[in-house]
């Protein structure tokens, strides 16, 4: 029997075949809708020699051209738009790392679909109408806060919308309202845990679950947050503004991977260099194609997020497929002495060392000899003495060389030395430029 007894928001499919039939129908609709209503896509598809009638099976997806973040910027301020302005009821935007921000528009139906997907996330995390959900992610132009709130209200739980920061108010409401679920970035959740510990509030909380979005986090950070807030489950919610926002998947209580909503979008994993699809289990870039999105549909949109498809079904019995955690962004990669490194790989190595905390920084320098040097700054855990500094530093150097084939120095600091933030922590400092 599947774990998810309550399936109000789950798709009405029981097998991969039924899911694929649903996907083919959605893909056909998206292609026709985009071709007929979006000047951007019509031009792009015509250039590729593709008409909507050419689509016969899901295998034909790989013949469609990619869409990229650069396309969104060139088509600014209403990229990919495929409906008249009368039908657009909201916009959200995310910061572009270079150039213009990405603005995405939504129809009434898009917002309803997003709320439904987000309610499904909460359902998958085992929430009910009895839950009280304290929302400590950003509101406004960003998709985060309002997404968390819409889904919560759709499910029928109680939303406590606070936004990030405001530690005193967060503590007050956690205690007074007995919030059962806390939603935040991993950095904010850690900060909250440390604040709860400092104020000695742990025994007065009713928290059971933390739902974390928008930021990659390490296993050791997870352990620390669980311990400080006294919660049983941490859930990972992926999402990007181009694809509605957060809420497009969630790991279930088995935590074997992230179930993604394959009835709303198709996920492909490609090799970012060759652009060819990679087999399940292999890491690559996520490419998404939406199946119902009206205002700004996505056709093979390159997200830059790195993960892999997990080939085996989840033991919970839910037929929605799994992808791994987001292991980083292809833009986050840096190169030291000809070795490609993703911050996620450093997270993983450091998480295996019990004497250090979850916070760290990577500093990259080019010295007079013209070579690159990497220094890792980490904190000792409470209760570990300074006399261990040298042993810990040696282990970090050894483990990084063993796993990543790169040499690094380690600097061991007192607990609490590195900066904490309520948004996303900056971890890599490249002083070479
Ligand atoms: Zn599952």
Distance from residue 313's CA to the centre of ligand 1 (Å): 8
Q: Which residues surround ligand 1, an ion (CB under 5 A)?
A: 252, 254, 314, 316, 318
Percentage of the residues of the chain whose pLDDT score is greater than 90? 73
Q: Give residue-wise pLDDT tens across range 362-406.
A: 999 999 888 899 999 999 998 899 999 999 999 999 999 998 888
Q: Give residue-wise pLDDT tens across range 158-171.
A: 999 999 989 999 99
First to last CA, the chain: 56
Distance from residue 145's CA to the centre of ligand 1 (Å): 25
Residue 1 banded pLDDT, cuts 50, 70, 90: very low
Q: Where in the chain is the domain with CATH 3.30.300.30?
A: 339-430
CA atoms within 13 A on the CB side of 363: 10
- 83-99: burial string, b at 16+ Cβ within 10 Å, e else: beeeebeeebbbeeeee
Mean pLDDT of the chain: 92
C-beta separation of 215 from 277 below 8 A: no
What is the helix (H) or strand (E) element at residue 294, kind and residue range?
none
What's the confidence (pLDDT) of residue 3? 54
Distance from residue 205's CA to the centre of ligand 1 (Å): 28
C-beta separation of 355 from 381 below 8 A: yes
Put simply, whether the predicted model's pTM sits higher than 0.75 gets the answer yes
Q: Are strands 249-251 and 328-329 parallel, antiparallel or unpaired?
A: unpaired
Please state the separation of Cα 25 from the chain's center in Å.
27
What's the confidence (pLDDT) of residue 99? 66
Distance from residue 321's CA to the centre of ligand 1 (Å): 9
What's the confidence (pLDDT) of residue 98? 57
Q: Cα(126)–Cα(234) distance, rounded to whole angstroms? A: 12
Phi then psi for residue 117, to 5 deg, are -60, -40
Query: Tell me: domain 76-331, CATH 3.40.50.12780, correct?
Result: yes
Q: Which residues, including other chains, have CB under 8 Å from residue 176's CB and lie 6 or more apart?
A: none
Token look-up 């000899």 returns 369
Distance from residue 6's CA to the centre of ligand 1 (Å): 13
What is 339-430's CATH number, 3.40.50.300, 3.30.300.30, 2.30.29.30, 3.30.750.24? 3.30.300.30
Q: Cα(332)–Cα(321) distance, rounded to whole angstroms? A: 26
pLDDT higher than 60, residue 5: no
Q: Cα(339)–Cα(92) distance, rounded to whole angstroms? A: 37
Distance from residue 213's CA to the centre of ligand 1 (Å): 18
Distance from residue 237's CA to the centre of ligand 1 (Å): 14
Distance from residue 315's CA to the centre of ligand 1 (Å): 6
Q: Which residues, including other chains, have CB under 8 Å from residue 293's CB and lie 6 or more apart?
A: 30, 110, 113, 244, 265
Q: Where in the chain is the domain with CATH 3.40.50.12780?
A: 76-331
Distance from residue 4's CA to the centre of ligand 1 (Å): 8
Q: Give residue-wise pLDDT tens across range 202-251.
A: 999 999 999 998 677 788 889 999 999 999 999 999 888 999 999 999 99
Token look-up 């679909």 returns 113
Distance from residue 316's CA to the centre of ligand 1 (Å): 4
C-beta separation of 362 from 432 below 8 A: no
pLDDT higher than 90, residue 340: no
Distance from residue 359's CA to the centre of ligand 1 (Å): 29
The conformation of residue 72, written as its DSSP 8-state character, comes to H
Distance from residue 208's CA to the centre of ligand 1 (Å): 19
Q: Can you tell me the mean pLDDT for 129-155?
A: 95
Distance from residue 149's CA to the centre of ligand 1 (Å): 23
Residues in the chain: 433
Distance from residue 325's CA to the centre of ligand 1 (Å): 14
């Amino acid at each position: 029997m599947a774990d998810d007894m309550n399936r109000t928001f789950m798709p009405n499919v029981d097998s991969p075949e039924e899911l694929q039939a649903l996907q083919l129908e959605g893909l056909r609709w998206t292609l026709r809708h985009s071709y007929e209503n979006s000047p951007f896509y019509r031009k792009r598809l015509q250039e590729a020699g593709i008409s909507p009638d050419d689509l016969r099976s899901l295998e034909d997806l790989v013949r469609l051209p990619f869409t990229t973040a650069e396309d969104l910027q060139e088509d600014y301020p209403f990229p990919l738009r495929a409906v008249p302005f009368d039908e657009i009821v909201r916009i959200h935007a995310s910061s572009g790392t270079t150039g213009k921000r990405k603005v995405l528009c939504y129809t009434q139906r898009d917002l309803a679909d997003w709320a439904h997907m987000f309610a499904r996330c909460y359902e998958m995390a085992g929430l009910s109408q009895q839950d009280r959900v304290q929302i400590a992610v950003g509101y406004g132009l960003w998709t985060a806060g309002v997404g968390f709130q819409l889904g919560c209200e759709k499910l029928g739980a109680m939303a406590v919308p606070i936004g990030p920061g405001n530690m005193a108010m967060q503590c007050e409401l956690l205690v007074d309202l007995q919030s059962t679920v806390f939603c935040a970035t991993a950095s904010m959740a850690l900060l909250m845990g440390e604040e709860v510990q400092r104020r000695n509030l742990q025994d007065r909380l009713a928290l059971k679950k933390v739902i974390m979005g928008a930021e990659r986090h390490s296993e050791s950070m997870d352990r620390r947050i669980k311990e400080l807030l006294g919660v049983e489950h941490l859930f990972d919610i992926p999402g990007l503004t181009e694809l509605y926002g957060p809420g497009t998947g969630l790991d279930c209580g088995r935590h074997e991977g992230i179930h993604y909503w394959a009835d709303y979008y198709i996920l492909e994993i490609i090799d970012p260099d060759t652009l060819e699809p990679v087999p399940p289990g292999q890491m690559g870039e996520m490419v998404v194609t939406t199946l119902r999105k009206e205002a700004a549909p996505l056709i093979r949109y390159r997200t830059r997020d790195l993960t892999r498809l997990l080939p085996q079904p989840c033991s919970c019995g839910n037929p929605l497929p799994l992808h791994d955690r987001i292991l980083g962004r292809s833009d986050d990669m840096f190169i030291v002495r000809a070795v490609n490194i993703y911050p996620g790989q450093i997270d993983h190595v450091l998480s295996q060392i019990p004497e250090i905390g979850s916070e760290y920084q990577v500093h990259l320098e080019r010295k007079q000899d013209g070579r690159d040097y990497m220094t890792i700054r980490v904190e000792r855990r409470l209760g570990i003495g300074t006399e261990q500094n040298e042993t810990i530093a040696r282990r970090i150097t050894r483990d990084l060389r063993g796993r990543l084939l790169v040499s690094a120095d380690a600097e061991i600091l007192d607990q609490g030395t590195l900066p904490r933030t309520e948004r996303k922590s900056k971890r890599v400092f490249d002083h070479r430029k």
